[in-house]
A and B are shown apart, each in its own frame.
Chain A
Amino acid sequence: MYIIFAAISLAVLGLALGFLLGAASRYFKVEENPLIDEIEKMMPGSQCGQCAYPGCRPAAEALVAGEAPPTLCPPGGKALAERLANKLSIELDLSTMGDQVPMVARIDESLCIGCARCIKLCPTDALVGAPKMIHAVVADACIACAKCVEVCPTECLKMHPVKVNLRLWRWPKPEETALAGA
């Protein structure tokens, strides 16, 4: 007898709650996911396209839809990946990011003809110079989007790995193989 009562009351409770949930999803439905705006704000906003999406907004949409991993943005690096994963509450696998070597654009000054095409394209104004003058890269502002490489008519612009110096050198994580027994 008690078992029947329990089963009935639980079933009723489940139905009621399910109905409430269904109603809530209908009445509080949001047309555009506000999360996309928040995610877009977190992105660098340089529309560089390194993520293979046409810009930061499409990338944010893909992220929210779960089509892209939080590690998609190379300029944002691990730090952004971590914040995105936190925001979206998803597991973060940084292992794919570890291998990426930071890059920077450099100009071969003997080849530059001063066409200024790259300057127009650079999303962060990292290329300085004027028409008919040899251009230069402000390394700190360069986000390695490589847009300039594509338009350079003389192929004087190339991406190079950032050279590690004492200022950039960091201690690596202790070898985990050493802790295999752990």
Chain B
Amino acid sequence: MSTRLLSAPFTRSELQIQSIMLTVVLGLAPGTLWGIFIFGWPALFIFLVTVSSALAFEAGCLALAEKRVLATLTDGSALLTGWLIALTLPPWAPWWIGVLGSFLGIVVGKQVFGGLGQNLFNPAMLARVALLVSFPLEMTVWANPSPPFSASAPGLLESWAITFGGVLPPDGTTGATLLGWVKTEFSQGRLLDESLPSGGYGFFKSFIGWTGGSLGETSALLFALGGGWLLKKQIITWHIPLAMLGTVFLLASVFTLVDGERYPGPLFHLSSGALMLGAFFIATDYVTSPNSRLGQLIFGAGCGAIVYVIRTWGSYPEGVAFAVLLMNSMTPVIDHYVRPRIYGRDRKGKPLELPEGRE
């Protein structure tokens, strides 16, 4: 018999933080496995390094803050953050990039704000952007797809050297990402109908993920499937992904109609880069997205618009991380102005007018 004074309700839904985090990780798993498959051993190494260092940093911070280490560590949030950071890294990046990314994400991005639920910015995106700005070279070495046992694949020892030995990948095994390729080509005056075929890119290849890029930005298909599964599991709602993808689709459609030679079409945008990963797994981060449905639609649309703007006119080929961070900073503002209407009150909080003829 418990005597602690508690208020109702005395029944709770089954869903717990841990199961939410693990479900998201499961949703990420197919895309991650695909990434590791096509980029081989180095990808697996950098993935393991990043995730384990994220867990270590989290444990260290919890111990320093004198919080319950094991209970909080097993809620899966650090695992998810580390996982997402790994997905944003070039698959053949050196090991210290992964450790530094985890440090930036877990310590600077999350724990200094007060831990889980307190951070303003998405930790994984913060880590990626900080790394990208600080180490532009290491962060833009894109390996070409080279699954194990294929001709171009590095062997185990070679892979170890790439990740831990500071050895640069051999020539001919790296290239540009689709978005980067199109951007560079355009800056040299080559239009789409010229640049796309010459780079050996195609919608289908891009969609299933047979292309260079970060560990987690290759297979739009697998991440879209994972995201759909999260929707079905009711871990995320449709508002942010739909608004984000819809906005990119809409903008791309409009501009490609205006000038099809200059602006790639909507399918190109949806199938390339980290858009699917961002829309389903990153922008939907609970902590840093608005809490009302309308707010989430605005947030998603804002992310989509910024992604399109950066991809099309910005100096970086991909803009998901910047878009999410920028909209993260808007979240408190959105939450302040966009609130659900309270029953019996209008949007401003004033009680509703009484029906006529009654006092």
Contact = CB atoms under 8 A, between A and B. Distances in A.
A175 B7 CA distance: 12
A175 B115 CA distance: 20
Contacts of B68: 180-181
12 contacts: A171-B5, A171-B7, A172-B5, A175-B4, A180-B67, A180-B68, A181-B67, A181-B68, A181-B71, A181-B72, A182-B115, A182-B117
A33 B347 CA distance: 44
A180 B117 CA distance: 14
Interface in B1-39: 4-5, 7
A146 B53 CA distance: 64
Contacts of A175: 4
Secondary structure of the B side of the interface? loop
Nearest to A178: B4
Interface of A: 171-172, 175, 180-182
Contacts of A172: 5
Secondary structure of the A side of the interface? loop
Contacts of A171: 5, 7
Contacts, number: 12
Q: Which 6 A-B pairs have the closest CB atoms?
A: A181-B68, A181-B72, A181-B67, A181-B71, A180-B68, A171-B7
Contacts of A181: 67-68, 71-72
Given A175-B4, A181-B72, 10 more contacts: A171-B5, A171-B7, A172-B5, A180-B67, A180-B68, A181-B67, A181-B68, A181-B71, A182-B115, A182-B117
Nearest to B5: A172
Contacts of B115: 182
Nearest to B65: A181
B76 to A, nearest CB: 14
Interface string B84-114: 0000000000000000000000000000000
Contacts of B5: 171-172
Contacts of A180: 67-68
Contacts of B117: 182
A180 to B, nearest CB: 6
A147 to B, nearest CB: 37
Nearest to A172: B5
A180 B115 CA distance: 12
A171 B5 CA distance: 9
A110 B39 CA distance: 94
B115 to A, nearest CB: 8
B299 to A, nearest CB: 25
A169 to B, nearest CB: 11
A182 B66 CA distance: 11
A39 B136 CA distance: 60
Contacts of B67: 180-181
Nearest to B72: A181
